[in-house]
Chains A and B, each alone.
Chain A
Amino acid sequence: MKISKEKFGQAFDALVAEYQIIAPVSDANGIAFKGVKSFSEVKQDYLNSKLPPKAFFFPQHEKLMSYKKEGKEVTVKSELKVENTVLFGIRPCDAKGMQLLDMVFKNDQYTDPYYFERRDKSVIIGVACNKIAPTCFCSSFGLSPAGSEGSDIFLIDLGDSYDVEVITEKGKALAARFEALSELSADEQALVDKIKDAVTLSKVDVSTTTSKLDKMFNNPYWDTLQEKCIGCNVCSFSCPTCHCFDISEEVRKNEGTRVRTWDACMAPLFTLHGSGHNPRDNKKARWRQRMMHKFNYFVHNNGSMSCVGCGRCIKGCPVNMDIRQVIDGANKAELVVE
Chain B
Amino acid sequence: MQLNPYIPITMKLVKNLVETEDKLINTFTLEFLNQQDEENFKYMPGQFAELSAYGHGEAPFGIATSPTEPGILKFSVAKVGCVSNALHLMEEGTMVGVRGPMGNYYPLEKFKGKNVVIIGGGFAFTTLRSLAKYMLDDKHRGDYGDITVIYGARNPGLLLYKEELAEWENNPNINLITTIDRPAEGWTKHVGFIPSITEQIAPSSVDTYAVVCGPPAMIKFTLPVLEKLNFTPESIYTSLEMRMKCGLGICGRCNIGTEYVCKDGPVFSMAQLKELPNEY
Q: A217-B277, A297-B258 are in contact. Are A247 and B251 (CB under 8 A)?
A: yes
**CB pair B93 A72 closer than 8 Å:** yes
**CB pair A110 B250 closer than 8 Å:** yes
B203 contacts the other chain (CB 8 A): no
CA distance A244 to B255 in the complex (A): 11
- A257-304 interface (Cβ within 8 A of B): 258, 260, 263, 265, 270-275, 277, 279-280, 285, 289, 292-293, 296-297, 300-301
A256 contacts the other chain (CB 8 A): yes
- Residues of chain A lying within 8 A (CB to CB) of residue B253: 244, 263, 265, 270-271
What is the minimal beta-carbon distance from B98 to any residue of chain A, in angstroms?
Answer: 11
A67 contacts the other chain (CB 8 A): yes
What is the minimal beta-carbon distance from A167 to any residue of chain B, in angstroms?
Answer: 27
What is the minimal beta-carbon distance from A104 to any residue of chain B, in angstroms?
Answer: 6
- Residues of chain B lying within 8 A (CB to CB) of residue A296: 258
A334 contacts the other chain (CB 8 A): no
- Taking a contact as CB atoms closer than 8 A, the residue among B1, B93, B251, B256 that contacts A244 in the complex is B251
A325 contacts the other chain (CB 8 A): no
A76 contacts the other chain (CB 8 A): yes
What is the minimal beta-carbon distance from B141 to any residue of chain A, in angstroms?
Answer: 31
A251 contacts the other chain (CB 8 A): yes
- A226-247 interface (Cβ within 8 A of B): 243-247
Annotate B247-263 by CB proximity to A: 1 below 8 A, 0 otherwise: 01111111111100001
Majority secondary structure of chain B interface residues (helix, strand, loop or mixed): loop
**CB pair A249 B81 closer than 8 Å:** no
- Taking a contact as CB atoms closer than 8 A, the residue among B3, B6, B243 that contacts A64 in the complex is B6
A14 contacts the other chain (CB 8 A): no
- Taking a contact as CB atoms closer than 8 A, the residue among A110, A275, A289, A297 that contacts B249 in the complex is A110
Q: A274-B81, A297-B257 are in contact. Are A112 and B7 (CB under 8 A)?
A: no
- Taking a contact as CB atoms closer than 8 A, the residue among B5, B8, B81, B280 that contacts A110 in the complex is B5
**CB pair A274 B250 closer than 8 Å:** no
Q: How large is the interface on A (under 10, 10 to 19, 20 to 34, 35 or more residues)?
A: 35 or more
Please name the residue on chain B nearest to A278 by beta carbon.
B243
What is the minimal beta-carbon distance from B93 to any residue of chain A, in angstroms?
Answer: 5
Interface size on B, residues (CB 8 A): 45
- A81-140 interface (Cβ within 8 A of B): 104-105, 107-110, 112-114
**CB pair A78 B54 closer than 8 Å:** no
Please name the residue on chain B nearest to A217 by beta carbon.
B277
A179 contacts the other chain (CB 8 A): no
**CB pair A109 B263 closer than 8 Å:** yes
**CB pair B54 A69 closer than 8 Å:** yes
Please name the residue on chain A nearest to B241 by beta carbon.
A273
CA distance A277 to B1 in the complex (A): 31
Please name the residue on chain A nearest to B249 by beta carbon.
A107
A65 contacts the other chain (CB 8 A): yes
**CB pair B97 A249 closer than 8 Å:** no
**CB pair B251 A263 closer than 8 Å:** yes
- Residues of chain B lying within 8 A (CB to CB) of residue A292: 257
Measured CB to CB, the residues of B under 8 A from A are: 1, 3-8, 10, 52, 54-59, 78, 80-81, 84, 91, 93-95, 97, 216, 241-243, 245-246, 248-258, 263, 277, 279-280
Excluding A247-B57, A247-B251, A273-B241, 17 further A-B contacts by CB distance (< 8 Å) are A64-B7, A69-B55, A72-B91, A72-B94, A109-B248, A113-B4, A114-B6, A217-B277, A254-B55, A265-B252, A271-B253, A271-B254, A274-B59, A274-B80, A274-B84, A280-B279, A293-B255
Measured CB to CB, the residues of A under 8 A from B are: 64-65, 67, 69, 72-74, 76, 78, 104-105, 107-110, 112-114, 217, 243-249, 251, 254, 256, 258, 260, 263, 265, 270-275, 277, 279-280, 285, 289, 292-293, 296-297, 300-301
In the assembled complex, 15 residue pairs joining A and B whose CB atoms fall closer than 8 Å, in A order, are A64-B6, A69-B55, A76-B8, A107-B250, A110-B249, A112-B248, A113-B4, A249-B55, A256-B54, A258-B58, A272-B243, A273-B242, A274-B243, A275-B241, A301-B258
Closest 10 CB pairs of A and B: A244-B252, A274-B80, A74-B95, A110-B248, A72-B94, A297-B258, A247-B245, A217-B277, A72-B93, A300-B258
